[in-house]
Amino acid sequence: MLTFFTTCKPFRGHDGIIQRNALKSWTLLHPEIEVIVFGDEEGAAEVCAEFGLRHEPRIERYQGKLPYIGSMFAHAQEIARHDYLCYSNCDIIYLPSFLKAFETACDARTDFLCVGRRWDVDITALLDFAKEGWDEALRTLAMTRGKKMDHYWIDFFLFRKGLYVEMPPLIVGHCYWDNWMIWRTLSLRVPVIDFSDATVPVHQNHGYSPELGRVKGIPTDALSLRNLRLIGGIKHTRTIRAATHRISEGGRVGRNLRRYLTLISLLAVEVRRYLTYNVWLPSWHFFLRRTRRLRNALGLRSKSTAPREMG
């Protein structure tokens, strides 16, 4: 079975609503699901007691404020009851199809990292999980009125215990640490499985606190750039698009052919760039130099016939 772990914001206002929705949905996936909440934010102890979750108030933090992601991963792998863990942001609601996708991955592989694209949805009230069909209603809401985010948005990491042994002191809630996680997994030659077609993770839209210095979709705040430096730069990042495998809507694990199409597309761009700057342009400039006198005599100008350079 599976252990979820996370950290929360204070359980106040809208943040409190969406975090309660998320945590409750995790517990409903299976009776044996374990959930660990790190941090001593306001209301965390009370919600953990109410839902029967494990509360670990002590956590290492950057300047006493934002949690280090590596601290949570290390501690969670030490104390989790189960062999498989899922770190998730505490604003994601998971539907029963998420557990089915996890079981499918386990049937196909032993070691893996599972990630997937999320659906952004406006939710402002506590969900009635006792209402029959709540999951199908939420899935329909997400797919009709929500937005499926692209491969850059990574909100959960499902993996086998022991995959992440050492991690840089990266800060949760800011960019690039999640992209590093995929790169790191691939560098260890562990398969990365894309859940995007098999389930609908519902991300409840929310704002960002001004003191974090971050705006949604903008990865240039100071702490995001700090994360980027610590991982060694953009070359050590990957997105969901880099997944080696994917689970289809029919529940089958197969090679992620989309990944190869992406690699071919990137290779084509690089080949074109190389040929432009190392073959076509040098050859064209050589031609212009050798024919300058003739063209001047004929009143021709090179600008009218020169090839366009790539921007």
Q: What angle do CA 92, 95, 100 make, to 5 degrees?
A: 120
Q: Kindly state the tokens that stand for 40.
A: 């001593």
Specify the pLDDT at position 310. Answer: 44
* Integer Cα distance of 177 and 229 in angstroms: 10
Specify the pLDDT at position 311. Answer: 43
Q: Cβ atoms within 10 A of the Cβ of 208, count?
A: 13
pTM: 0.81
Local confidence pLDDT in tens for the 311 residues of the chain: 999 999 999 999 999 999 999 999 999 999 999 999 999 999 999 999 999 999 999 999 999 889 999 999 999 999 999 999 999 999 999 999 999 999 999 999 999 999 999 999 999 999 999 999 999 999 999 999 999 999 999 999 999 999 998 899 999 989 999 999 999 999 999 999 999 999 999 999 987 655 555 556 678 899 999 999 999 999 999 999 999 999 988 888 888 876 666 556 656 656 777 777 777 878 877 887 888 888 787 776 655 444 444 44
Q: Cβ atoms within 10 A of the Cβ of 206, count?
A: 18
Q: Do 173 and 214 form a contact (C-beta atoms < 8 A)?
A: yes
Specify the pLDDT at position 212. Answer: 54
Q: Kindly state the tokens that stand for 39.
A: 């941090």
Specify the pLDDT at position 170. Answer: 96
Domains of the chain: 2-255 (3.90.550.10), 261-304 (no CATH)
Q: How far apart are the first and last CA of the chain?
A: 51
Specify the pLDDT at position 307. Answer: 47
